[in-house]
Structure 1
Amino acid sequence: MSTESGKRRRKADGSPTRAQDPEGTKRNILEIASEEFALNGLSGARVDEIAARTRSSKRMIYYYFGDKEGLYLSALENAYRLVREGEAKLDIEGLPPIAALSRLVEFTFDHHHRHEEFIRMVMIENIHHGQYLDRSEMIRDLNVTAIDHIARIYARGVREGFFREGIDPVELHWQVSALCFFNVSNRATFSKIFGRDFGAEDQLERLRCNSVEMVVRFVTRSENLGE
């Protein structure tokens, strides 16, 4: 059997692998699978099509991910991982609370705009009533870190006298997510109904600024709003 780099081999148990970079192959599968699931949903996506678009085979996909539902759950976990990793990289600990919260909203808006497949996969998972997400301890852990992040910003703002008391960090996260999510999930229908391109650069910039202002005004004490 040839050992040439990149050619497919078989393990002793008959399962396929790659001579090099199995993690790269898995990342490639997840990237393409995310696109397919976001476009066609869990029932409409085809493993044959995913295999055809990747440097893998259907057998290899099943080896790595078990079955189609396992692949879907892994793609969903990867989508959440990407957004949470982006949040973790934000350099906002040294910023004043209002600036830190503003930066978090800006990041969320920009991430959702650049990763529309994440929004579509979340919409699909809601169609399934969160039943696959419920199987994932990873996603629960990832979202705990998201709440911890926004809770620290909010607590610091309250402590320093900028933010009003009594806001639940989970509900604050809900409001941020809602504003940024709707920008992607309902862009097409709003554009058609109101005859305005909500995906245009100038429109997106206004929506981004409005989202930041709405969240900041929601949490900031009235005497700190500068009015």
Structure 2
Amino acid sequence: MGEKDLELQKGIGRGGWKQDPAGVQSNILAVATSEFAANGLSGARMDEIAAKTRTSKRMIYYYFGDKNGLYRRVLEEAYRKVREGERHLDLEHLPPVEALRRLVEFTFDHHSSNPDFIRLVMIENIHHGAYIRQSELIGRLNAGAVEKLEAICQRGKEAGIFRDDVDPLELHWQISALSFFNVSNRATFSLIFGERLYSTAGQETLRQHVVTMVLRFAVKPGHAS
């Protein structure tokens, strides 16, 4: 085994210090997320990513194969984090209206606090979902998101609180759309119409109104939302 192969196997980082593989990969993914979000898949450079990590370009190729493989893993990690956040909400133990409220609030807050996630999704749409199509993991993760809404809607309908025709997939679309636009179009919207909605007070008002709109759509008239 050559010296370079041994270095790869042991995970020796820049400067000769030994790293744990999970820590190395986490560092690479964090840097790559920022680079891909800022520059897109075609504009991001592996040399630039490597220069900002605590390891070498060779280690990046060792763990992720190539730039496309790294980009795909960045997408997977971005979706994993948002779905993990949803899992920690413990929605199944909340009344259906409160569960839906909590999910909408979380989605709005997550997207607002993670503009890189929004940019990555926009970039993937430019590529017509090519890399999401390659990832079985992303499909499984997002199926779980709709399953959570299916469970909430089912409990709400059984309690006579939710409308019988509420569709969980449509509901997911609405929550995503309202929360996504707030970040994706901030630059153009604020330049054209001003920054009022992007002040602290403006964002809090929008958050409350997004929750109200979704609940009014799902909850039958006459039931508290």
Shift of 1:94: 2.6
- Residue identity matched to 1:202: A
Structure 1 spans left out of the alignment, 5+ residues: 1-8
Shift of 1:12: 4.7
Equivalent residue for 1:200? 199
Higher fraction of helix: 2
Equivalent residue for 1:11? 5
Equivalent residue for 1:92? 91
CA spacing shift, 1:16–1:130, aligned 2, 3 Å: farther
Query: In the TM superposition, what whole-angstrom CA distance separates every residue of 1:157-184 from its partner, at most 9, and x where no partner exists?
Result: 0110110012221111010000000110
Shift of 1:14: 6.3
CA spacing shift, 1:191–1:206, aligned 2, 3 Å: same
CA spacing shift, 1:59–1:97, aligned 2, 3 Å: same
Structure 2 spans left out of the alignment, 5+ residues: 13-17
Equivalent residue for 1:127? 126
Query: In the TM superposition, what whole-angstrom CA distance separates every residue of 1:125-174 from its partner, at most 9, and x where no partner exists?
Result: 00000011000000000011111111111110011011001222111101
Equivalent residue for 1:6? none
| Residues 10 and 17 in structure 1, CA contact (< 8 A), matched pair in contact too | no
- Number of equivalenced pairs: 218
CA spacing shift, 1:72–1:16, aligned 2, 3 Å: farther
| Residues 11 and 20 in structure 2, CA contact (< 8 A), matched pair in contact too | no
Equivalent residue for 1:102? 101
Equivalent residue for 1:64? 63
Distance 1:105 1:15 in 2: 44
Distance 1:193 1:16 in 2: 53
Report the RMSD for the aligned CA atoms in angstroms.
Answer: 1.6
Equivalent residue for 1:55? 54
What percent of counterpart residues are identical?
A: 57
Superposition map of 1:65-84 within 5 A:
65-84=64-83
Equivalent residue for 2:15? none
Distance 2:109 2:144 in 1: 20
Query: In the TM superposition, what whole-angstrom CA distance separates every residue of 1:79-127 from its partner, at most 9, and x where no partner exists?
Result: 0000000000003323221111000000000011111100000000000
TM-score (norm 1): 0.91
| Residues 33 and 50 in structure 1, CA contact (< 8 A), matched pair in contact too | yes
Shift of 1:16: 7.1
Equivalent residue for 1:176? 175
